Amino acid sequence: EAGVTQFPSHSVIEKGQTVTLRCDPISGHDNLYWYRRVMGKEIKFLLHFVKESKQDESGMPNNRFLAERTGGTYSTLKVQPAELEDSGVYFCASSRQGRVPPRLREQYFGPGTRLTVT
Amino acid sequence: AQSVTQPDIHITVSEGASLELRCNYSYGATPYLFWYVQSPGQGLQLLLKYFSGDTLVQGIKGFEAEFKRSQSSFNLRKPSVHWSDAAEYFCAVNDAGGTSYGKLTFGQGTILTVHP
């Protein structure tokens, strides 16, 4: 099966501009997560979708970040307007949901989108 | 809130030497623990996981990890390192058990350099 894909792989934008990151999870995975790693820091959770619903968005830094998952398939993460501190690598991950044992509910990660705000 | 600590930011070993990467966690309940590896240009790949049962878990690529509740540790080991093991390694804990599946909390990562 195809893995988690993310687009673009790298984005360079100026402060104040808007950027939209896209994540395509593994087919059939209802759970979709966004994480971010700022340079030199640990990978941090941003939010979690179950199908099209936001299950947990406690990690979203502020209202400049907007995540959507229309139809419960792919997801987008928009940053508007971008600030310098938004630079980092944004990871998407997906996992199964439903009546599967915890042992099977591992998260599969995409390669990440490296965002550079100048 | 749970937390994960990887005390070593960077480790260098010679090819063929043994490896141990440290991970300590702080979590109130029984944790679900993971080790991921990220090679340059790649996404995070799951090496192994611990949910319950045998505290010594085997993973891919010859890695293993041991869960020690008394020490709140989940150290990753490999008896003989290969040059292709050079990568960044992340320890993570899942904050939900039962029927739900929650977010991962990661350690800071350990960069492994392998000398020939």
d(CA A45, CA A33): 8
Name residue A117's amino acid: V
DSSP state of B87: E
Read off the pLDDT of each residue in B24-32 and give the average, rounded to a whole number: 82
Tell me if A43 and B109 make a contact (CB, 8 A cut-off): yes
A22 touches B: beta carbon within 8 Å: no
Most A-contacting residue of B10, B90, B104 (CB-CB within 10 A), to test interface = B104
Q: What is the pLDDT of residues B71-114, one digit of tens each?
A: 999 999 999 999 999 999 999 988 655 444 578 899 999 999 99
Largest Cα–Cα distance in chain B? 46
d(CA B97, CA A43): 21
d(CA A38, CA B104): 16
Smallest Cβ–Cβ distance between A102 and the set B32, B46, B107 belongs to: B32
Most A-contacting residue of B44, B52, B93, B105 (CB-CB within 10 A), to test interface = B44
Tell me if A109 and B90 make a contact (CB, 8 A cut-off): no
pLDDT interval class at A103 (50, 70, 90)? low
- Looking at residue A99, what is its pLDDT? 65
